[in-house]
Chain A
């Protein structure tokens, strides 16, 4: 098929099989390699992108499902050299170690922060972050500093 969709604010086309995974379309056809493959079965979340504003595992989405839709990858979070609040917080709080899960976590956390899904006091907010990001696995951090980062981004955005 000739896939026509919007990626990170730009109209893109790709001649691909409708069965091709969105993950592979992004990585191989569009050379957007920020989106990672960790498991290929929707468990680890390293391939998380936003599809029409919802966080999805791009390894479980077929190209044929993406016609005319809007995709945001980690490459689309920053505005030029200005990092998204979530990226800035991950950097400042030490929320990235080996970095392979970081693009997926940044995308999912940006979704959570931009949609205002985290509310309430510190304890409630931290519990919400843990629930909302439970589809993204990180093996390095023990999650603590990532939760700190997302909370910091929530506070920064709501200033």
Chain B
């Protein structure tokens, strides 16, 4: 009997390679003969590409140039809809600044960039739109007949708008609020990087990515090949956070095209400024929220209308919006709910996946509303949440009856016990006068794909007995720092009852691993980890029976009683939810208006921590991304161009900005996850920003902060008015 590895903090399997610098990321790989690629981009937000001019003074004999005419298959990045080209063709529309127009490759990076600068796209400008209001007013038509990429309407407890308004009319109080959340840069420290090489008619692509099979699907269409015509391999990946979910398909298309034209391997590694300017961000969102309560303070109706800026192409916007609206009513009991969501086209670069995936935007709105309710009623904010929160047997806004693994009381109880006395309002921080305040937030996050998504995906994983008494785990789940390799090792070792050292989790390569689905949506541990656990158990039984079976592949099956109706958006939106509560104490500098988070306590229900240290690292990291989003991060656009596209101006928290993080792991087991585990990756991102805004409101005696970030400028304006 091996000691069960699950539940222990096995040091990261890839840890030694990482602390010694031996781990090889894409730009570290030996690439003999590889040329370097660079991208010619639009400076215009909207227009028509008329020509691509080359400087005649430049020596073009040393470089290759590729345009849309050189694309081997279809000029699309296949994802949800095939509306985004890899390169703008002559005569076709340019939809955003920094859209890719042409590619160059050269023996050196310097020469490639020189050639890139010697190519000038000629674009006939058209009027552009940069606000959701202009998009909804159809000031320019960028998409379909109404600029709306996707919309949802979720009704609970009422038949139509008239019935809904009748319910609202019965309220003792209606709290109305308008909330804005800003775009956010993922800021993985390894920029986007990819390399391609054609050998024997097969295109081999290796690079930094979250989802090898997303790239594979996109490349089959783009290159016009079947399954075996393109092989995608993930290299060690220096962070993703959603930013390497969909964009790597674009980069893969570019290096594959250049490698074909140059007839040699080509690699592209983005500079930081290019990465910030051209790749996806968190969707900025505008959320109107009405919270109707009766005289006893019970919620009787919730009305949400959320509009997100999707940017120039559809990309993943419909699913980001979906997750946003499905979380928009919050983890609170309410009989009558109406949630409307729209994501619209603008001439911004496409917004996309980022940890939380729409939920942080709507969570900010509802947790500000609940705070306002607490102020209105003079009720303790945490006690109010405890009183109104969903528990087992309650129904969500989609009518899902919550069954097992509802951690409401556990996470709120943990915060109650850790809270201690709130800080005195007036005080000094480093000798400077400050106002202090405390804020809390409570939220949930669906684990895994929405609705019938997991069934549709039908993810697979394989566990095989190999030589030397070892076992090989094959899946397309990528380790992007979150510890997938290590937890799969632990799950397999425990299920096979062997030492972790006998488990080998192989690198994701589409020719060797089955499609386990993408590495997104807090699903890697719960869903794919579950497949690994099941395959390991079945393999163990086969080996015990000595029946010759040495390899088992399992495929996802939904837990019993899970039903979802995509047409009405009702039913079980997610197989289960993570639950979390956060408490922050802030100080606001009365001279500089700077908001500092002095204390942050975060209790997160993860079902079961397969590896407590790794889980803590996930929660800590997500928490700080949320605190950064709350007070100092932002992406600034001017005429559709990112104007802070460098790390000097597009800031993220440093060691000195971060508070000590008091993270508490709560375990309310989910019976259908491996050893009871459910999702953890995203939920820490959802709520801390609202907790900070709630705390600043308390610190400043009720001045409401309904827009992110709470920068000194915002705080000054709100306070002075």
Q: Which A residues have a C-beta under 8 Å from some C-beta of B?
A: 27, 32-41, 43-44, 46, 73-75, 77-78, 83, 87, 90-94, 96-103, 106, 126, 129-131, 133-147
Q: Which residues of B contact A43 (CB under 8 A)?
A: 646-648
Write the nearest CB–CB distance from B240 to chain A, whole angstroms: 8
A102→B656 CA distance, assembly (Å): 17
A136: contacting residue among B625, B648, B655, B663, CB under 8 A: B655
Write the nearest CB–CB distance from B460 to chain A, whole angstroms: 26
- B24 contacts chain A at the CB level, 8 A cutoff: yes
Write the nearest CB–CB distance from A114 to chain B, whole angstroms: 16
In contact, B660 and A34 (Cβ under 8 angstroms):
no
In contact, B647 and A144 (Cβ under 8 angstroms):
no
**7 pairs, CB–CB < 8 Å, chain A vs chain B:** A36-B190, A38-B272, A94-B613, A98-B239, A99-B18, A102-B19, A144-B616
Given A38-B272, A97-B621, A130-B656, 4 additional A-B pairs, CB 8 A: A27-B28, A94-B12, A100-B189, A137-B647
- Can you name the residue of chain B whose Cβ is closest to the Cβ of A24? B109
A44→B654 CA distance, assembly (Å): 9
A17→B555 CA distance, assembly (Å): 56
A46: contacting residue among B9, B15, B189, B623, CB under 8 A: B189
Most chain A CB atoms below 10 A, which of B186, B188, B239, B241: B239
Write the nearest CB–CB distance from B645 to chain A, whole angstroms: 11
In contact, A41 and B621 (Cβ under 8 angstroms):
no
In contact, B656 and A41 (Cβ under 8 angstroms):
no
B20: contacting residue among A40, A87, A131, A145, CB under 8 A: A87
Q: Which residues of A contact B190 (CB under 8 A)?
A: 36, 38, 98, 100
Write the nearest CB–CB distance from B630 to chain A, whole angstroms: 14
Q: Which residues of A contact B241 (CB under 8 A)?
A: 139
A103→B652 CA distance, assembly (Å): 19
In contact, A141 and B656 (Cβ under 8 angstroms):
no
Most chain A CB atoms below 10 A, which of B16, B189, B621, B658: B189
B655: contacting residue among A41, A94, A143, CB under 8 A: A143
- B495 contacts chain A at the CB level, 8 A cutoff: no
Write the nearest CB–CB distance from B269 to chain A, whole angstroms: 8
- B513 contacts chain A at the CB level, 8 A cutoff: no
- B187 contacts chain A at the CB level, 8 A cutoff: yes
- B598 contacts chain A at the CB level, 8 A cutoff: no
Q: Which stretch, B223-231, B478-486, B574-582, touches the partner chain A?
A: B478-486
- B494 contacts chain A at the CB level, 8 A cutoff: no
In contact, B12 and A96 (Cβ under 8 angstroms):
yes
In contact, A91 and B11 (Cβ under 8 angstroms):
yes
- Can you name the residue of chain A whose Cβ is closest to the Cβ of B21? A34
In contact, B658 and A98 (Cβ under 8 angstroms):
no
Write the nearest CB–CB distance from A133 to chain B, whole angstroms: 5
- Can you name the residue of chain A whose Cβ is closest to the Cβ of B24? A33
Write the nearest CB–CB distance from B314 to chain A, whole angstroms: 27
Per-residue contact bits, chain B 621-660, to A (CB 8 Å; 1 contact, 0 not): 1111100000000000000000000111000111110101
In contact, A141 and B621 (Cβ under 8 angstroms):
yes
Write the nearest CB–CB distance from A102 to chain B, whole angstroms: 5
Most chain A CB atoms below 10 A, which of B187, B240, B616, B658: B658
B272: contacting residue among A41, A73, A146, CB under 8 A: A41
Most chain B CB atoms below 10 A, which of A27, A41, A97, A137: A97
Q: Which B residues have a C-beta under 8 Å from some C-beta of A?
A: 9, 11-12, 14-25, 27-28, 186-191, 236-241, 271-272, 480-483, 613-614, 616-617, 620-625, 646-648, 652-656, 658, 660-661, 663
In contact, A75 and B21 (Cβ under 8 angstroms):
yes
A78→B19 CA distance, assembly (Å): 10
Write the nearest CB–CB distance from A26 to chain B, whole angstroms: 11
In contact, A34 and B237 (Cβ under 8 angstroms):
no
In contact, A137 and B21 (Cβ under 8 angstroms):
no
Contact of A98 with B481 at beta-carbon distance under 8 Å, contacts A43-B648, A91-B12, A139-B239 already known: yes
A33→B15 CA distance, assembly (Å): 17
A135→B656 CA distance, assembly (Å): 9
Closest 10 CB pairs of A and B: A34-B21, A98-B481, A100-B238, A99-B18, A142-B620, A142-B624, A74-B21, A33-B28, A43-B647, A97-B481
In contact, A138 and B20 (Cβ under 8 angstroms):
no
Q: Which residues of A contact B189 (CB under 8 A)?
A: 36, 38, 44, 46, 98, 100-101, 137-139
Q: Which residues of A contact B624 (CB under 8 A)?
A: 142-143
In contact, B647 and A41 (Cβ under 8 angstroms):
yes
A60→B237 CA distance, assembly (Å): 25
A149→B23 CA distance, assembly (Å): 20
- Can you name the residue of chain B whose Cβ is closest to the Cβ of A126? B660
Q: Which residues of A contact B481 (CB under 8 A)?
A: 97-99, 140
Contact of A98 with B480 at beta-carbon distance under 8 Å, contacts A36-B25, A41-B646, A46-B189 already known: yes
Q: Which residues of B contact A101 (CB under 8 A)?
A: 189, 238
Write the nearest CB–CB distance from B484 to chain A, whole angstroms: 11
- Can you name the residue of chain B whose Cβ is closest to the Cβ of A123? B660
Q: Which residues of A contact B652 (CB under 8 A)?
A: 137, 139
Q: Which residues of A contact B647 (CB under 8 A)?
A: 38-39, 41, 43-44, 137
B617: contacting residue among A75, A91, A140, CB under 8 A: A140
In contact, A97 and B482 (Cβ under 8 angstroms):
yes
A153→B521 CA distance, assembly (Å): 35
In contact, B19 and A83 (Cβ under 8 angstroms):
yes
In contact, A100 and B660 (Cβ under 8 angstroms):
no
In contact, A145 and B620 (Cβ under 8 angstroms):
yes
- Can you name the residue of chain B whose Cβ is closest to the Cβ of A87? B19
A91→B656 CA distance, assembly (Å): 22
In contact, A40 and B272 (Cβ under 8 angstroms):
yes
Q: Which residues of B contact A73 (CB under 8 A)?
A: 21
In contact, A91 and B19 (Cβ under 8 angstroms):
yes
A35→B648 CA distance, assembly (Å): 20
Q: Which residues of B contact A78 (CB under 8 A)?
A: 20
A133: contacting residue among B12, B18, B191, B655, CB under 8 A: B655
Contact of A142 with B20 at beta-carbon distance under 8 Å, contacts A37-B27, A39-B646 already known: no
Most chain B CB atoms below 10 A, which of A43, A83, A130, A142: A142
- Can you name the residue of chain A whose Cβ is closest to the Cβ of B191? A38
- Can you name the residue of chain A whose Cβ is closest to the Cβ of B272? A39
- Can you name the residue of chain B whose Cβ is closest to the Cβ of A147? B655
- Can you name the residue of chain A whose Cβ is closest to the Cβ of B613? A94
Write the nearest CB–CB distance from B557 to chain A, whole angstroms: 31
Contact of A97 with B20 at beta-carbon distance under 8 Å, contacts A41-B272, A91-B15, A142-B623 already known: no
A8→B549 CA distance, assembly (Å): 51
A14→B454 CA distance, assembly (Å): 54
In contact, A139 and B272 (Cβ under 8 angstroms):
no
Write the nearest CB–CB distance from B659 to chain A, whole angstroms: 9
Q: Which residues of A contact B238 (CB under 8 A)?
A: 36, 98-101
